[in-house]
């Protein structure tokens, strides 16, 4: 009996140690592997930044009304304080600086062949013709042109045809016509889903 007990104790102890030894590395191996897979997944290319740091969307592409010369809105309006820096949502080349009775002081960037982004109603223009980086300050929010209050009218044109900036720049709905590159938001608040609740304001 005593011999049996003596034999059994080391066997039980060895069993417990084996379980612990197997269990620990197994648990440790699962967690980092799962995590690693998520972290090392394909990362989207850096997407557009917001043109102004703090804003409220006051007009969307396709809105209808007499406010607009064509009877409908051809861009996306960001209301912000007068003088707020306006940044390039993507890198590109400044191809035109102009003043227009409707759009006021404006900067036009070519961001890819045949695609331009218009920044309108500025109070100041702080760039010249030439290349600009994503996030670079182009000018300041103003009230120039046909306007009811300080805001940025941001317009995207694909082969000179106005295209929805929210869709084009900040996340194309699958199958949306004209939504050529699928860019990802660099600023989480700029996702289309996040923009949607602002529509009613």
Question: Could you tell me the two tokens for 99?
Answer: 């003043």
Which residues ranging from 12 to 71 are in contact with Zn ion (CB under 5 A)? 59
How far apart are CB 189 and Zn ion at their closest, in Å?
19
Based on CB atoms, which residue is closest to Zn ion, 8 or 198? Answer: 198
Based on CB atoms, which residue is closest to Zn ion, 77 or 164? Answer: 77
**Phi/psi at 171 (5° precision):** 130, 105
Instruction: Choose which of 49, 51, 52, 77 interacts with Zn ion (CB under 5 A).
Output: 77
Do 192 and 171 touch, CB atoms closer than 8 A? yes
Based on CB atoms, which residue is closest to Zn ion, 119 or 183? Answer: 119
Tell me the site size for Zn ion, rule CB under 5 A: 4
Rounded-to-integer distance, Cα 166 and Cα 181, Å: 13
Nearest Cα to 63, choosing from 164, 131, 143, 135?
A: 164
How many CA atoms are closer than 13 Å to the CA of 45, on its beta-carbon side? 10
How far apart are CB 184 and Zn ion at their closest, in Å?
24
Based on CB atoms, which residue is closest to Zn ion, 42 or 48? Answer: 48
How far apart are CB 148 and Zn ion at their closest, in Å?
10
Rounded-to-integer distance, Cα 42 and Cα 21, Å: 35
How far apart are CB 65 and Zn ion at their closest, in Å?
11
**Positions that interact with Zn ion (CB under 5 A):** 59, 75, 77, 153
């Amino acid at each position: 009996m005593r011999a049996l007990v003596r034999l059994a104790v080391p066997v039980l102890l060895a069993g417990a140690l084996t379980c612990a030894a197997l269990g620990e590395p197994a648990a440790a191996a699962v967690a980092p592997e799962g995590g690693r897979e998520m972290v090392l997944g394909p990362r989207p290319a850096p997407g557009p930044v917001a043109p102004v740091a703090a804003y409220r969307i006051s007009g969307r592409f396709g809105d209808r009304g007499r406010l607009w010369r064509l009877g409908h809105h051809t861009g996306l309006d960001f209301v912000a304080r007068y003088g707020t820096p306006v940044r390039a949502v993507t890198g590109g080349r400044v191809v035109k600086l102009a003043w227009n009775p409707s759009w006021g002081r404006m900067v036009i960037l070519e961001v890819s062949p045949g695609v331009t982004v218009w920044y309108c109603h500025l109070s100041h223009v702080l760039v010249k013709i030439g290349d600009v980086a994503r996030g670079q300050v182009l000018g300041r929010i103003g009230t120039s042109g046909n306007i009811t209050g300080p805001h940025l009218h941001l317009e995207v044109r694909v082969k000179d045809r106005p295209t929805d900036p929210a869709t084009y720049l900040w996340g194309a709905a699958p199958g949306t016509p004209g939504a050529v590159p699928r860019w990802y938001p660099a600023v989480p608040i700029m996702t289309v889903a996040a923009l949607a609740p602002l529509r009613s304001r």
